Amino acid sequence: MSARINFYGNGVGAKFAKYVNSAGKAVSDSTLPAEVQELVKIRASQINGCGFCTDMHTKDALHAGETQTRLNLVAAWREATVFTAAERAALELVEEGTRIADAAGGVPDAVWQRAVEHFDEDQLSALVGLIALINAYNRMNVLIQQPAGGYQPGQW
């Protein structure tokens, strides 16, 4: 399987990806815990069916020391006992933010309030930015059918 287009090798696509990556630096440089960032990226990628991003972020998380058990349970986080209250709040927010079109009125206040209980304003801003960013990456890769499975940690 190959991608429909070499988006990242195309002048316009590469330029677009460069600017998207620049926005991501604000998140990665924030105080939002790295573990939370990876869990958010994985969960959105699962929901959106982005194999490339799911492959990338699970491998990056493993490489950074995340456990296989926790990675196995991201999709079933509500029933899992391995996530902190803060991680659960972030996972709930990413689900609601990713499925925003499914709920009239957007993200429920109760979901937002649970996130507010665990993250300060800078971290919430990073979390909102990350949710928007990973959804953009997911859509780019799903649209072009970017193949999954060959990613190596640190490749990008």
Q: Length of the chain in residues, anyone? A: 156
Which CA distances in Å does 135 have to 34, 56, 78, 139?
Answer: 18, 14, 21, 6
Give 103: exposed, middle or buried? Use CB within 10 Å, 0-12, 13-18, 19+: exposed
Q: How many CB atoms lie within 10 A of CB 99?
A: 13
Over the stretch 66-81, which tens digit does the pLDDT of each residue have? 999 999 999 999 999 9
Work out the pLDDT band at 5, boundaries 50, 70, 90.
Answer: very high
Question: Which pLDDT score, from 0 to 100, does residue 132 have?
Answer: 97
Question: Which pLDDT score, from 0 to 100, does residue 119 have?
Answer: 98
Work out the pLDDT band at 50, boundaries 50, 70, 90.
Answer: very high
Over the stretch 85-102, which tens digit does the pLDDT of each residue have? 999 999 999 999 999 988
Q: Is the pLDDT of residue 104 over 80?
A: no
Distance CA 106, CA 97 (A): 8
Question: Which pLDDT score, from 0 to 100, does residue 101 have?
Answer: 87
Q: If you average pLDDT over residues 110-129, what whole number do you get?
A: 98
Which CA distances in Å does 9 have to 6, 39, 129?
Answer: 5, 28, 25
Structure pTM?
A: 0.94
Work out the pLDDT band at 57, boundaries 50, 70, 90.
Answer: very high
Domains of the chain in start order, with CATH, are: 32-143 (1.20.1290.10)
Across the chain, mean pLDDT equals 95
